[in-house]
Amino acid sequence: MVGAMKSLERLAGAALLCAALLAQHAGDGPQPTPVVPATFPGQPPSDAIVLFDGKDISQWQYKDGRAGAWPIVDGILTCKSGTGNLYTKRRFGSAQIHVEFAVPYMPDAHGQARANSGVYLQGRYEIQILDSFNNPTYSNGSAGSLYGQYAPLVNVSRPPKEWQTYDIVFHAPKCGADRKLATPGTVTVLYNGVLVQDNVTVKGRTTSSDDTDPCEDGPLMLQDHYHPDVKETFMQFRNIWIRPLS
């Protein structure tokens, strides 16, 4: 009889513990929204906005509103120097961004002249693209840097002509009712799957960015970088998508 009573007490104690746990988590909000992940790494999940899928650039334009005219060959978007920066028609705030790119082989160029481009968040904050494979330059101007502000934690650049990836988590700056900056933006970057920017605080616009209101959403921009020592480059892009973050 004593053993049976102790068993009942243990059961009662377990029931009370379960009830307490349920009460603790009751009312903690709605269930997370279902999102279907990609079948292969790097491909867009079900809630992503695909900005370039290898077929057309209807989501892109030049700064003056003209339709984008970078050529597409075999599903690859190519920037020939002098054609102009490309902007998304849509504007974004905080977002997860995926971009794949390949830099050209330019053995006669050095430093910032070697395959220079960039991904600009909201058209204001540049994640530098450069051939940083055996190509020293100032650290906060190398590939994977938040240009002019933070050097990448490590150099994981692949050789030119090989495909590389940026996976970016951007939290946009927040402004108060007075339209003044209340909370600065932050950026996290994985370069070829390796963390190179760890939730760094954006200090402001980077070089060659658009002089637009940081309180407003902005486009994603792919840079056509001009360098006086280089006649032309052929930067390549593919598989670009974005997930706006609430």
Q: Which residue has the higher pLDDT, 30 or 12?
A: 30
Give the burial class of 49: count Cβ atoms within 10 A of its Cβ; 0-12 exposed, 13-18 middle, 19 or more buried: middle
Residues 79, 88: Cα–Cα separation, whole Å: 15
Residue 221 predicted with pLDDT over 80: yes
Tens-place pLDDT, residues 57-83: 999 999 999 999 899 999 999 997 788
CB 203 within 8 A of CB 149: yes
Domains (range + CATH), the chain: 50-244 (2.60.120.560)
Q: From the centroid of its chain, how far is CA 4?
A: 62
The pLDDT score that the predictor gives to residue 4 is 55
Residue 59, burial from CB neighbour count under 10 angstroms (0-12, 13-18, 19+): buried
Over 90: is that where the pLDDT of 36 sits?
Answer: yes
Q: Measuring CA to CA, how many Å separate 209 from each of 44, 119, 120, 222?
A: 27, 10, 8, 11
pLDDT given at position 28: 75
Residues 6+ apart with CB under 8 A from 85: 62, 63, 120, 221, 222, 223, 224
User: By mean pLDDT, which of 93-102, 194-203, 233-242 is the weakest?
Assistant: 233-242
* Residues 214-242: b if buried by 16+ CB within 10 A, e if exposed: beebbbbbbbbbebeebeebbbbbbbbbb
CB–CB of 108/80 below 8 Å?
A: no
| Three-state secondary structure call for residue 174 | strand
Element (DSSP H or E) covering residue 182: strand 181-183
